[in-house]
A and B are shown apart, each in its own frame.
Chain A
Amino acid sequence: MLGQAIRRKEDERFITGAGLYVEDVQLPGMLHVAFVRSAHAHAIIRGVATDRARKVPGVVAVITGDEWPELASKLPELNGSVTMTSPYIDSLNVAPHFLFPKKVCYVGEQIAAVVADSAYTAADGVEAIEVEYEPLPVVASWEEAIKPGAPRVHAGFDNAVAHLKHEIGDPLAAFNDAEIVVERTLKTQSLKSMAIECRAVAAQWEQATGTLNVWSTCQFHYMLRNTLAEILNKPAESVRVIARDIGGGFGLKGVLHAEDIIVPLIAHRLKRPLRWAETRMEHMTASNHSGNQTNKVRVAAKRDGTILGMDLVMHKEVGAYDHFDMMLQINTVNHLTTHYKVPNLKIEGWAVSTNTPPGSPYRGAGRVEAVFTMDRMLDAIAREASLDPIEVRLKNIVTPADMPYRNGMVYRDGVPVTYENIDFPLLLETARKRADYDGWRQRQRELREQGRSIGIGVSSYVEGGGLGPCEGASIKVDEIGRVTVKVGVNSQGQSHETTLAQVCAATLGVSIDDVQVLGGDTSLMNVGFGTGASRVAVNSGNAVHKAANEVRRKVVALASKILGSTEDEIEISNGVVSVAGARQNQMTLGELAGRAIRDRRMAELGGPGLVATEFFYPKTVTWASGVNIAIVEVDRDTGKIDILKYVFVHDCGLPLNPLIVDGQISGGFAQGLGIALGERAAYDEEGQVRSGSLMDYYMPRASDIPDLDVGHLQFPTPDNPLGIKSVGESGPNSPPAAIAAAVEDALGGHVQITKLPITMSSVLEAVRSQ
């Protein structure tokens, strides 16, 4: 059962159109909400004229934030997701983020809400509202924002809102001893997660039970529940957040946005069900983005390619409000050295506010920036020392003999990063063979004679995933043998209803057809965290395993008493409990569950019923890893990049379901390809959005995707009972670095590719500069 490629249990409702996404929630008397949004990136709101809007047929209410005291609330300062400690941060000073600000700080920021009888009339109402602005000077890039005397995004707060530093060994001595010093300024672009479902929220005050029901696209539904309960001064149980069918997340939906809170607060006051569904244009304008990052890097090395030390200075744009302290840059630091030894290291970073939407993680969450930095620098050493890029990598690679290996980093949970039971050289060698690296080097030379520009790029990543603190699972067997598994996480497409059912079925000894997994609803479990940081398989998977083992323990104990055997003789298979070797002496799990409700012997087994709730607390994150090799051809006349071959070798420990692991790798790869070749959230110097629709923001289509040659290696982790690691954020990390290296190589190494995305025009520019 575990490790089998079984098809997904959740698919039936999705392929028949029976999924229930937030925008599909239709309740009697439901009203619709639309938002008035700022046209300016920085302005004081002098007035909001609502009279005309109130007269629009169908408009029920116009909300400007002064109506009720709770509308003066703020969003939680720091995203209460899974950042637990910030080992490198030495200063953090972020401005408050109000639901209805008196001063807007980015284009698209919400100013007022219109409630109407349809989404169309709500939009009419928005059109009829006039806002009087007093524009203020704008800083739309981190470079402008840190200049002396630059306008401040928030009065009384520095634009540089946070700072971190970390040092390993003696970097100064490393540079003094260097035979080679290479230096690059590497720029990675701001991105949107770009789930096909935009954000949405529906809310209903249920008078009969005194419950505020909220349907949300949020990845962290307990965070939304707790925030609403706190604002309304109600117990958490009075707010129920349902976030079951969500059309993709990838990080952007992992943070609270103002609308997530405003819409339920209005529904609570008006006592009418409400729904707001973001339009794509709103999404492009007002939803969070990942933020531009610039890494200025110097590396000291020996002429044989051995790295002596590295010096990294990072600047990251965090937008108008920073709800993640420096989480993304901390991820960059902790994933920076990937498979390689950097004995001496100095890192300093700043988080910088700008008049753009707030910053959010996007799948990879700082790891793409780490990998792009490490691999581009390894390639820079190879060029400077006239060595093959793989030779440089082998010179510095961490080997199994070095393990357990500590690279000197400290993860966000405060635990030192440790690699154990991973064979990095085998990953590299496997990728090299699958890609026919040596053969392509030969063909590259031959084809160059014919005027064709072939390039080869190599990239390695690690993925720290499965961050705690914990997740739980609650399992119940009913009287007819059906097994229900409740979890505190939700799904944006990750297949939990299948993989967690596999864990339960395998552990308990029942058919997967009898197991139903329920998640994405705060009424199921008291405590849950949510889906992000590639954490569900490790946390919830092992929680299900623990809970199923506990149910199994009860089954064995009670069945042995009823069937008159020893506990060792009890077997459970396909929902039947039997005594080993005794054909007649058996009962179904359902019959036993029925008996367990009333049987007094259950007093010593934790109470009535075959039920158990268990939590799994990981020691720290698990380390998945991989190597990508890209072989590309560059058309020097058009700048077009053709991917001739792409090899993706990875390890994620024991796969729960290889079909789903393949899907995660393929999907993550496609997102990495988008990062490499075209995606970019762009703002002009006035903070106006230049990527305002899917016509302007490139996302890979089927015709852009090359075949993928995936190689699976398995290095199980000793850190959890299932031996599993994360996989969700493996896909996007390496394609940008591998493709950048391949393009640079195709152009004969005479230009440097230091900036993402690598667009056709940037390639042409590079060709012409040769």
Chain B
Amino acid sequence: MRALSIGATGMLAQQVNVEVISNNIANMSTTGFKRGRAEFHDLLYQDLRRVGSVSSDAGTIVPSGVQVGLGVRTAAVYRIHEQGNLNITDNTLDLAINGRGYFQVELPSGETAYTRAGSLQLSPDGDIVTPEGFLVAPGIRVPQDAVSIAINTNGEVWVKRDGVVNPELQGTFELATFVNDAGLEAVGKNLFKETPASGGPQVDIPGAPGFGSVLQGALETGNVNAVQEITSLITAQRAYEMNSKVIQASDEMLRSVTTLR
């Protein structure tokens, strides 16, 4: 009875779907979060009666054969890199990227990760770091006696020091873009890593052609749309139920066979 296992593939797929949706909803207010979408593919088809097989000695052929599909599987959990809303926070070190690009984060392991969550902070040494304390490339140090920090749309960090008239340029943030954003690997903590599918990073200053600009005092919220997620949740749950009914019905068919004697 193929229907039993086909129903099971359907239930498994919908389970993954619900898991992805619940992760989206859980991260609704995570800064820089990119929502995921589970996508499904139909499985193999089994030819029970081949198309084009000869059906009589007069040479007539079967115009469409019997092909039975074997269910469904999760093809991909696809990340949608659409920009989220920009939330004005007026916090000096909250940076949002308006347009394409990622901040580069230097991990303790020496690798580079990428993030759009620009809720940055200062380390004890005055370095601009992520909330985890990882340095944001290229590494900008704010002097101890800084009174105010201004970051312009091109990522330049200008610091006004106590007793000095003119602000001083401390460094410039660089952004990285990828040919295929969706190919980036999410590693948690709002960080992404490059993969063969994403292609290598292209690095330039914010505001360069093809790169987004930096906005100080704003944060990019998650791009989760609550209404959309809830509707998907309803669809997923109903689909799960329907597949469980298929299993019940197949079970009933099998049971009636066993009572045949």
Partners in one complex: no
